[in-house]
Amino acid sequence: MLLAIDAGNTQTVVGLYELDDAGSAAGRRPEDGLLDHWRIASLADRTSDEMAVLLQGFLAFRGHALDDIDGVVISSGVPRITATLRDLADGYLDFDPVVIEPGVRTGIAIQYENPKEVGADRIANAVGAYDLYGGPTIIADFGTATTCDAVSENGEYLGGAIAPGIEISMDALVGRAAALRAVELREPRHVLGKSTVESIQSGAVYGFAAQVDGLCDRIQEELGDCTIVSTGGLADLITPLSRRIQHVEPWLTLHGLRLVYEKNA
């Protein structure tokens, strides 16, 4: 079995995949072979022993243990968490993890001024999206940051746009405006809010849907028509309100990680 781990700045997503000896994951759906998945807070001061206890507990729900894991693949935007996961593999597993970083085969060319600057999750998304939809494709990822990245018809990562994420923006709004309070992120009854809570929800939910639609329009002015895919923790909330997003893939990053693992294992 394979553990695919996407460590973001706010949350870490762990996917447990069944490794298929009969063939490659290429062309399969992201959920194919996904036995289970878990989401935990990204705590940089969590030790490798604490992480091992967490993973062991999750695996026990499926009747497995860390000893049953045959491979680990990691994308991480938090260097301390990357180090923790390496220490975990060193202490509890008998193999090194595959980490998306310079020198690792991804099968995708990075057309960035400095390829080392591209986040590992953005690379994994590009790998997964190109496998599923070809190119040109735009990937909108609703995470700590909201990103819109593009893959060419030849499978090249072309770059993208990074904006503050929805939850970060909401925290900043509440923190800076004394008369406003935190609200549940959900679709309001009306675009024209009839209360402060509903007005904040409208601005956040419809506003970010419009932001991504606008970015996709501008990207398509440069690239032509693209397939547009969404992923990330808030994709299910925003995607139905978008006028441009065509597909939602909750496990796109994990799928890309699984493909990168196969190229390097």
- Do the Cβ atoms of 34 and 101 come closer than 8 Å? no
- Do the Cβ atoms of 18 and 33 come closer than 8 Å? yes
> DSSP label at 43?
-
> CB atoms < 10 A from the CB of 54, how many?
16
Dihedrals φ, ψ of 149, to 5°?
-120, 155
Exposed, middle or buried, 150 (CB in 10 Å: 0-12/13-18/19+)? buried
Rounded CA-CA distance 90/40 in Å is 22
Nearest-CA neighbor of 127 among 100, 106, 150, 113?
Answer: 106
Residues identified as active-site: 121
Exposed, middle or buried, 179 (CB in 10 Å: 0-12/13-18/19+)? exposed
Residue with tokens 């996904």: 34
Rounded CA-CA distance 238/254 in Å is 20
Tokens linked to 234: 């808030």
SS3 179: coil
Tokens linked to 137: 């494709």
Rounded CA-CA distance 198/188 in Å is 6
Residue with tokens 């695919």: 4
